[in-house]
Amino acid sequence: MSDKKLWSGRFNEPTDAFVEAFTASVEFDQRLYRYDIEGSIAHATMLARAGILSEDERDLIVDGLKQIRQRIEEGQFEWSVELEDVHMNVESQLTTAIGDAGKKLHTGRSRNDQVATDIRLYLRDEIELIRSEILRLQQALLDTAEREAETIMPGFTHLQTAQPVTFGHHLMAWFEMLERDRERLADCNKRVNVMPLGAAALAGTTYPIDRHYTAELLGFDRPSENSLDSVSDRDFAIEFSAAAALIMMHLSRMSEELIIWSSAQFNFVDLSDSFCTGSSIMPQKKNPDVPELVRGKTGRVFGHLVGLLTLMKGQPLAYNKDNQEDKEPLFDTVDNLKGSLKVFADMIPAITCKPENMRRATLQGFATATDLADYLVRKGTPFRDAHEVVGKAVALGVSKGCDLAELSLEELQGFSSQIEEDVFQVLTLEGSVAARDHIGGTAPAQVRAAIGRARQRLGGE
């Protein structure tokens, strides 16, 4: 009735039923099956080349593993909790299928180096998928930024109107955050793509294995250096989680802005109906659920980072069963990160921008006050004095309920004799943004140049 444990030799009593379920990981680590099988095929291939397995044994093992993979994919594989994890489920069914050759697969390795290898193979694939989702989102931002290179909106500091910026410039700020994220993942992958296999339980193995060959078969950059470190190291998962936390933090900031902008009070953008939901009681509502949920998911991804750090804290070398707890947070991080990036990449092109509302808002907060100060500086006033003069002009505007550009020349000249008719050119929104015309500035020409450079950077991807 029960599947015989692969490690039962020294045991006289059966495992307590609850302990069996408590210690098993198959429920969640079965998602590693493809990597487990890929790793086993490479291991068996290496063992045969090293003369540790016969070629017939290797062929039986490789064919058997491929059949198991197919059975799993067709939903024909029965996972057993008694067999604890994905590794022992696969190995046990292999032996059932091919007999004694199956029992030789585990020669020269341990589940400790096996599981570390599986996770790295898994994460390497996921990093590639995540990087291409980021890229898709970046492309969407570039297209939208290009369309909105001249659209003027208020730029904020402290969420108070600061200076006019272009919407394209704002979107390119998001692009830059994501560019760092994509780079960070590529860098993280350098440490993910190292092969622990061959470390065996902790000390290496007595068989004449060829770790360079196995690493080559699996597309790893190199075998790991130290067997004790190899089976216990989860830095790569923590590093990935930190990169994931940063991405989610960025998405949460974008989410927050989209939520604010789509409120009736701001009304800068309209999110497409397909990314919003209604209220069951208030008929007028169109809620920005997608950005809200992404903002919310950021919390659990941060939590997983701290969870993994805490999992590893104080663990003595080498492998400890604690490490089995690395998978659920890692999988959940990957799933939620991928989902959030996908929904963002789909949502961005469907955003409608409302330039008239953005313009009206920009005209309301004395956004060109700095431009007036810079104008006075150009005419010879020291900046601190100019700041003071403009402050007074703003106070007059506040009391009259009008913008600086709506004050008369006489009124403005009352604050400084250096002000002349040409001041009104400087006080326009277009003049204000166009004047910030250097690399990194908000002038439409600079935004277009930045988009061009960004496209070139992405060109090779």
Contact mark string toward ligand ARG, 304..343, x via CB under 6 A? ---------------x-x-xx-------------------
- Among 53, 115, 290, 301, the residue binding ligand ARG under the rule CB under 6 A is 115
Closer of 111 and 295 to ligand ARG (Cβ): 111
Query: What angle, 0 to 180 degrees and rounded to 10, lies between the N-to-C axes of helices 55-73 and 33-49?
Result: 170
Closer of 85 and 91 to ligand ARG (Cβ): 85
Contact mark string toward ligand ARG, 394..423, x via CB under 6 A? ------------------------------
Strands 222-223 and 194-195: parallel
Token duo for residue 88: 């022992």
Q: How far is the CB of 15 from ligand ARG (least distance, A)?
A: 13
Q: How far is the CB of 214 from ligand ARG (least distance, A)?
A: 19
Q: Which residues contact 185 (CB under 8 A, 6 or more apart)?
A: 127, 130, 131, 134, 240, 243
Closer of 19 and 439 to ligand ARG (Cβ): 19
Closer of 119 and 130 to ligand ARG (Cβ): 119
Strands 152-157 and 160-166: antiparallel
Residue 29 makes contact with ligand ARG by CB under 6 A = yes
Q: Which listed range, 42-50, 109-117, 167-175, 331-339, lies at the site for ligand ARG (CB under 6 A)? A: 109-117
What are the backbone angles phi and psi of residue 2, rounded to the nearest 5°? -95, 145
**Neighbouring C-beta atoms of residue 263, cutoff 10 Å:** 11
Q: How far is the CB of 35 from ligand ARG (least distance, A)?
A: 13
* Cα distance between residue 51 and residue 342, in whole Å: 47
Total residues at interface with ligand ARG (CB under 6 A): 10
Closer of 95 and 114 to ligand ARG (Cβ): 114
- Among 69, 104, 109, 111, the residue binding ligand ARG under the rule CB under 6 A is 111
Q: Which residues contact 225 (CB under 8 A, 6 or more apart)?
A: none
Q: How far is the CB of 201 from ligand ARG (least distance, A)?
A: 7
* SS3 (DSSP) at 275: helix
Q: How far is the CB of 140 from ligand ARG (least distance, A)?
A: 38
Closer of 25 and 432 to ligand ARG (Cβ): 25
Closer of 203 and 402 to ligand ARG (Cβ): 203
* Cα distance between residue 444 and residue 146, in whole Å: 9
Q: How far is the CB of 7 from ligand ARG (least distance, A)?
A: 8
* Cα distance between residue 278 and residue 242, in whole Å: 34
Residue 25 makes contact with ligand ARG by CB under 6 A = yes
Burial 294-321 (b: 16+ CB within 10 A, else e): bbebbeebbebbebbeebbeeeeebbee
| DSSP 8-state class, residue 370 | H
Task: Give residue 143's identity as a one-letter amino acid code.
Answer: D
Q: How far is the CB of 116 from ligand ARG (least distance, A)?
A: 8
Q: Which residues contact 409 (CB under 8 A, 6 or more apart)?
A: 419, 420, 421, 423, 424
Active site residues: 158, 279
Residues 47-86 that bind ligand ARG (CB under 6 A): 85
What are the backbone angles phi and psi of residue 408, rounded to the nearest 5°? -80, 160
**Neighbouring C-beta atoms of residue 364, cutoff 10 Å:** 11
Which residues of this protein are in contact with ligand ARG, per CB under 6 A?
A: 25, 29, 85, 111-112, 115, 319, 321, 323-324
